[in-house]
Amino acid sequence: MVSLGNTAVINATPGHPGADPRVRKAMHLAMQPEVIYRRAYPGTGLASNALFPEFSRWHTDAEPLPYDPGKARELLAAAKADGYDGKVTWLDAQDPASRTTALAAKAMLENVGFDVELDLVRSIADQITKVSVKKTYDVSGWGISWREAGPFARMYATLHAKGNLTVGMATTPKMSALIEELRGAEGEEEQRAVMGRIQEQWNEDVPALALGPQPELIAWPERVRGVTGTVNSMVLLDDAWLARD
């Protein structure tokens, strides 16, 4: 299970709705991951807006933001009072799960007062170009993917102010400092304590909408031996060999 494997990143660069932290938090408070999973992945998957759900060794008592459409409406109204028109574009792919996710998200966001336009592109390459290269999106389906065995590197790349995979998400000095603190923490207990504070800071910054972890499965026949796994869910085959039948 890869934490934050199923998310919607929010573009916080100037000129986009997500530049206003009130708008980002309103989006988060308006979303129910369970609804999305019931519609897009009926009967499967683990819906959760926690950074590290209960299965994870990095799970803590720090709670994610709750579903609170009333509070979302208040924050959105305050942003509109300062000139925001409520419009936001949701970028995603055209496969059935992505399309259904986008439609469900549109309904929940419009329930609290957003005006949502869907931009469903034909290919993953088009989506990557808009999100990672040009950053010409407002909100987009994405995978941040913090790996269970070694989350620090990916956390630094995606949320630290100097990370190279932030794709326009909000980065703050407090979050960057917590990620650096994680690097220096000694032992899993101390690291988990920092993880709890990272969850609390995420609740303040709302760089993305967490929908759930992404399950990954790599399988091979019993005859194949010597396969070496890695923290990135890839396998190394340099020492692999075939056993006799």
Give backbone dihedrals phi and psi of 134, rounded to 5 degrees, phi first. Answer: -90, -25
Structural class in CATH, domain 2-214? alpha beta
Maximum separation of any 2 CA atoms in the chain, in Å: 72
Closest listed residue to residue 119, CA positions, set 107, 127, 129 = 127
Residue 218 has pLDDT above 90, yes or no: no
Average pLDDT, the chain: 95
pLDDT at 97: 94
The total number of residues shown for the chain amounts to: 245
Domain edges within the chain: 2-214, 217-245
> Token pair for residue 150?
């070694």
Q: Is the pLDDT reported for residue 245 higher than 80? A: no
Q: Which of 64, 62, 70, 47 is nearest to 1 (CA)?
A: 47
Neighbours of 115 (CB within 10 A): 12
This prediction has a pTM of: 0.92
Confidence of residue 231 (pLDDT cuts 50, 70, 90): confident
Residue 161 CB neighbour total at 10 angstroms: 13
- For 236, the enclosing helix (H) or strand (E) is strand 235-236
Q: Are strands 228-229 and 241-242 parallel, antiparallel or unpaired?
A: unpaired
H helices of the chain, in order, are 21-30, 33-40, 69-81, 96-111, 124-128, 152-159, 173-184, 187-205
Q: What is the pLDDT of residues 175-215, one digit of tens each?
A: 999 999 999 998 899 999 999 999 999 999 999 999 999 98
pLDDT score recorded for residue 31: 97
- The count of C-alpha atoms lying within 13 angstroms of the C-alpha of 158, restricted to the half-sphere facing its C-beta, is 20
Instruction: Give residue 167's identity as a one-letter amino acid code.
Output: V
Interacting residues of 125 by C-beta distance below 8 A, sequence separation 6+: none
d(CA 31, CA 28): 5
Q: Is 163 left (phi over 0), alpha (psi -120 to 50) or beta?
A: beta
